[in-house]
Structures are given as C-alpha cells and as structure tokens.
Amino acid sequence: DAGITQSPRYKITETGRQVTLMCHQTWSHSYMFWYRQDLGHGLRLIYYSAAADITDKGEVPDGYVVSRSKTENFPLTLESATRSQTSVYFCASSESGGRNTGELFFGEGSRLTVL
C-alpha cells in the first residue's frame, strides 16, 4: 500500500547502544522529516531533508544522525542512546513545489525506550 511506514514500531534498548529507526515513503515526496513527541512539548523537529543527499538540522538535532541516499528512505540513527532520548519518533513527508502548503503526512510512530 502507498504511504509512509516506520520500523520498528516499538524498541527497547540500553544506554550507549546504537539504534536506527527506519522510514520509507512511497509517494516520492521531496521533503521528509523526523519529529520526536514528548509530553508537554508537542512535536519537535529533529532533522529534515529537502531531497536525496540534502539534510538539515531542526530544533533538537543533538545525539542524532540522518542520511538520505534515496528519496524514499530517511533513517534516523541514535549513535549512543541516552535515557533522555526515550520518546515517540514520527517520520513525515510532504510535497514540494508550487502546490506545497506544508501539509505533512505522518507515519504511525516508533516508540523507543532507553533503559
């Protein structure tokens, strides 16, 4: 089915381990985003990408790494997980060009717990 999928949906890891959250979209949207959702903070932007091989920092990028070698994939890596990175992570995508109103299409989220 077309859409945006995230994996894994649930992940438990330990402090110091590397974790990669995957995001795949089938719409060929140019823009992709990673947000984290924490109680009281809403959604905060971690990183975003305007196209393959173009990425930029958002509001809370520290401790995270992204790459975008293909338009459809936008993995998010926590190189050395910390407890403060326990959160729900959402991937989103949007179109570009003149019709772009900024509307985002979201995946179902990846719930990460760092022990």
Partner 1 sequence: AQSVTQLGSHVSVSEGALVLLRCNYSSSVPPYLFWYVQYPNQGLQLLLKYTSAATLVKGINGFEAEFKKSETSFHLTKPSAHMSDAAEYFCAVRGGNKLVFGAGTILRVKS
| Residue from the set 17, 41, 57, 83 that interacts with partner 1 by CB under 8 A | 41
89 belongs to the binding site for partner 1 (CB under 8 A)? no
What is the total count of residues that contact partner 1 (CB under 8 A)?
Answer: 25
Residues 6+ apart with CB under 8 A from 49: 31, 32, 33, 55, 56, 66, 68, 74
Beta carbon nearer to partner 1, 17 or 51: 51
Shortest distance (Å) from residue 63 CB to partner 1 = 20
Shortest distance (Å) from residue 15 CB to partner 1 = 25
Q: What are phi and psi of 84, to 5 degrees?
A: -70, -10
| Residue from the set 22, 45, 52, 65 that interacts with partner 1 by CB under 8 A | 45
Q: How far apart are CA 15 and CA 73, in angstroms?
A: 26
109 belongs to the binding site for partner 1 (CB under 8 A)? yes
CA torsion, ordered 1, 47, 74, 8, to nearest 10 deg: -70
CA-wise closest residue to 16 among 111, 112, 83, 110: 83
Sites of contact with partner 1 (CB under 8 A): 31, 33, 35, 40-45, 48, 50, 58, 90, 92, 94, 96, 100-104, 106-109
